[in-house]
Chains A and B, each alone.
Chain A
């Protein structure tokens, strides 16, 4: 068997594949570029959506133009495509927006690199050029950013603009002013803490998107127990995580063994008694509302009802933590020392109706930071997409509050960076300058794509932009004005973007492109044999 061996035959496991040199590079380029092309058409305010149908049971359908969501759902086999999938996910986790831009930029970088490789430029040289270009771009980006953090009015305006820009590429674009207000109000309530957990988003089908509103209190999607007060003013709330069904004995190995029916009855009574005592202890805290993470059975519920205490069961873990945060109480599991447990409080608890559903509304809460956004929409798909869009906007705003520098949008930062890189390329000796020019071209692809997606003459607009930036380096505010279909002043149009997001896009995309470029060999192990 081993007498005559072609290279790699019999070296790796059966079913494994190896691609080398040019082939490997081709495979990665093709995969990465395909991935970028997939999401490319969703970029910009006139970007299109995608329908994703799951392979699982029910063939659920998602309609979205969120890059991260699309890429997450696509099953890919190409290793290079997986790299892009990963950077988009990280971008989502890290800053929440720019998930499409980062993939498109990485894809464009690789497309340019492919041509350079075709011109016999060594990948390492390309990487060196890219790194230099990245440094120039980063410096230019930092120089271009400006901050209005010291003027609250102007800063709020910036935030509104950023929110509008982010939302304009999403389904919420029709009501972007409304939602921008919503998002900015929610974020400013956080007072700079950037803790997005205090913002609760509830989705209720029905009504129109425009009917969505921000509630200054807190809304819990749960029911109040039967026969209990439906409205409490000056509520004292005990938030708990304790079993309220049957309180089991936890000592290991304990079991009940009795010899007569009467004894069974006694034990049962004791058990009931135990629960009654527990409830009494809880009531002794001087509360008029009790919220438990776990189930509350009918028996304790009845005791609470008798005592005139509102009880809410089965608030999920997230809900409990958020409630504790909002109401300013602690999550209790023992009830021996009523005086020492910190109770939560709020002005008013009442049942409200949104659409068809009853929800519990807490208003006048201790922690003024929290709020709830209630989303309304015609169908669950719209609501899901609205949720994703709003999440993006909130993330970006949260980041901007932490890092108040902003940039103009509409391809303006890309044009500036491209110009700076080209300037630097002119002064760079050697083949590296080719790679730097390529980098600049890739950056210009972003405004080009935005214009293309809007059905505009991209070549003309980008050329105009380029001329404007070239004529007035560093001061021009021209970007793609998708609505008018021409180049426009970004400040007047109010198109702003967060500096942090742009910077992360630049860094991640370059890193990913470099990573893929460095590969000259792809080895795929044989797929794991699955039984059945």
Chain B
């Protein structure tokens, strides 16, 4: 195949080492890719929606993860196939951008590709399909904008936010406690939100957890939890109204960075060095004391002697606190991070109302909770759960819910969930496709009048593909999928009510407004954009060259 002849009939090699490379071309290649993508999508399909099932993943080291978060599943599946990896990336980018809907986007992409396959069989060129999808996507997102509603909330009236978080959480293992968890998430987000600027820095919310207890014990700490204990076992376990010094220098003998040697050759030198050393420790502690600190938080370790001196001077201290926590603590308590003892001064200290050490159950593990910081801009969600897998899953779920709440703070437009938005868009795309004139105009503009109307097929396929989401929802909820989908579709068309969706929770109504099932507009829009883009990318590949497997 990749052998060519030059003008003189001599063969020359285009691709080196042909024997060790395998190559697939043309429609063949596109189809192989589609098959791969479909396989990945199929795995995730059953995790969609409030009644979606979980996946159990065993890592190469034998650790078990149980989750129904699309991004996590794909990440831990260790997909090897190139196209599979594209889908993994797709779900990741949805995760980074929006944080929720990671399963939906993969299911949508898979279904778009599935539809593309039959179009390919009809002999339509992959690029034309891609163009058609692009157009359809435009129509669909435009329609999304038109059916979106503004959902007003204020720090006093958070109910809408809670409702949206509940929709996200209902598909997770915490579904049982979605109300409680949603309220925690909303409180956390509002605590760190910069409402005038409509910005939320999620780094300020730490989701920490400890195995044990029940999920019900999960709570919001308006402060910071660090997984450390006081450096000396006899330091007080609870401090009130305390001034905090944050240090990044160790309580150890000086250690200049330049290489040096201190030579001792006389007894006097030995003695003086010894005294210098002792004085050094005393000075260090004295400096902290002079600055008025009541609690030392240090990034590094303490020498035994220094530790005792601290305890002796009634200066509780925490050592080996990680860099991220140090920064958070500095932000929350209003302290400056001090890199040298000399620079310690009273105005660089932070403040906290209450610092206490708590233990758990029968183990010796302890954590320190720092509460009542002047800057309420850092909070911790403290998760408890019956076992490690539940705990991890709760943390992932909370992360999703936090992202959703953040998105709403950024942009308070919502669309209704339960597949209603997809059905509405599907209808809109179909209608647009049927308006032949309109679409032709569209197509003509795009292709300078040369071709007309082939994209119609692609658009119809797009409309069909959109229906995959409500179909999967219905299927996972144990409903007769096609029946319920067509029923809802017919009603949407008849009543021109875009808020009708699949009744997953068996609540007795299809109107998602009554069920209070929402999703953010940006989340949904991003799903469609990303899925279409990936589809286009996959469809454009017509040649796969890869080294053969080693024997």
Contact A521 B53 (CB under 8 A): yes
Q: Do A2 and B544 form a contact, CB below 8 Å, given A507-B214, A511-B386, A523-B56? A: yes
Picked from B32, B277, B362, B388, the residue with its CB within 8 Å of the CB of A3 is B32
Q: Which residue of B lies closest to A122 (CB)?
A: B478
A250 CB to closest chain B CB (Å) equals: 4
Q: Does A491 interact with chain B (Cβ within 8 Å)?
A: no
Q: Does B389 interact with chain A (Cβ within 8 Å)?
A: yes
Contact B304 A253 (CB under 8 A): no
Picked from A11, A83, A122, A522, the residue with its CB within 8 Å of the CB of B80 is A11
Q: Does A258 interact with chain B (Cβ within 8 Å)?
A: yes
Bound CA span A82–B57, Å: 12
Contact A94 B234 (CB under 8 A): no
If over half of B's interface residues share one DSSP class (helix, strand or loop), that class is named, otherwise mixed; here it is mixed
0/1 string, A498-532, CB within 8 A of B gives 1: 00000010011001101100111111111110000
Picked from B84, B254, B264, the residue with its CB within 8 Å of the CB of A257 is B264
Contact A511 B78 (CB under 8 A): no
Bound CA span A79–B55, Å: 11
Chain A residue numbers with a CB within 8 Å of B549 are: 1
How many B residues, CB 8 Å from partner? Answer: 93
Chain A residue numbers with a CB within 8 Å of B176 are: 131
Q: Does A77 interact with chain B (Cβ within 8 Å)?
A: yes
Bound CA span A64–B261, Å: 58
Contact B308 A241 (CB under 8 A): yes
Contact A523 B24 (CB under 8 A): no
0/1 string, A249-284, CB within 8 A of B gives 1: 111111111110001001101110010000000000
Q: Which residue of A lies closest to B302 (CB)?
A: A333
0/1 string, A330-370, CB within 8 A of B gives 1: 11111011001100000000000000000000000000000
Picked from B53, B260, B278, B362, the residue with its CB within 8 Å of the CB of A398 is B362
A127 CB to closest chain B CB (Å) equals: 9
Contact B277 A249 (CB under 8 A): yes
Contact A255 B262 (CB under 8 A): yes
Bound CA span A290–B519, Å: 68
Interface residues of B in 252-274 (CB under 8 A from A): 252-256, 259-267, 270-271, 273-274
Q: Does A95 interact with chain B (Cβ within 8 Å)?
A: yes
Chain B residue numbers with a CB within 8 Å of A14 are: 80
Bound CA span A516–B469, Å: 25
Q: Does B360 interact with chain A (Cβ within 8 Å)?
A: yes
Q: Does B77 interact with chain A (Cβ within 8 Å)?
A: yes
Contact A528 B55 (CB under 8 A): no
Q: Does B68 interact with chain A (Cβ within 8 Å)?
A: yes
Q: Which residue of B lies closest to A20 (CB)?
A: B43
Picked from A1, A124, A250, A333, the residue with its CB within 8 Å of the CB of B307 is A333
Bound CA span A259–B36, Å: 78
Q: Do A331 and B234 form a contact, CB below 8 Å, given A253-B260, A522-B56? A: yes
16 contacts between A and B (CB under 8 A): A2-B22, A90-B212, A90-B386, A251-B254, A251-B273, A251-B277, A253-B256, A254-B261, A254-B264, A256-B265, A258-B265, A267-B264, A331-B234, A511-B214, A515-B387, A521-B43
6 cross-chain pairs, A with B, having the tightest CB-CB distances, nearest first: A333-B308, A520-B53, A250-B253, A528-B60, A511-B386, A94-B361
* Chain B interface residues toward A at CB < 8 A: 22, 24, 28-29, 32, 35-36, 39-40, 42-43, 46, 51, 53-62, 64, 66, 68, 73, 76-81, 84, 173, 176, 211-215, 232-234, 252-256, 259-267, 270-271, 273-274, 276-278, 280-281, 303-305, 307-309, 311-312, 360-364, 385-390, 393, 477-478, 544, 546, 548-549
* Chain A interface residues toward B at CB < 8 A: 1-3, 5, 7-8, 10-14, 16, 18, 24, 28, 77, 79-80, 82-83, 86-87, 89-90, 92-96, 122-125, 131, 196-197, 241-242, 249-259, 263, 266-267, 269-271, 274, 321, 324-325, 330-334, 336-337, 340-341, 395, 398, 504, 507-508, 511-512, 514-515, 518-528
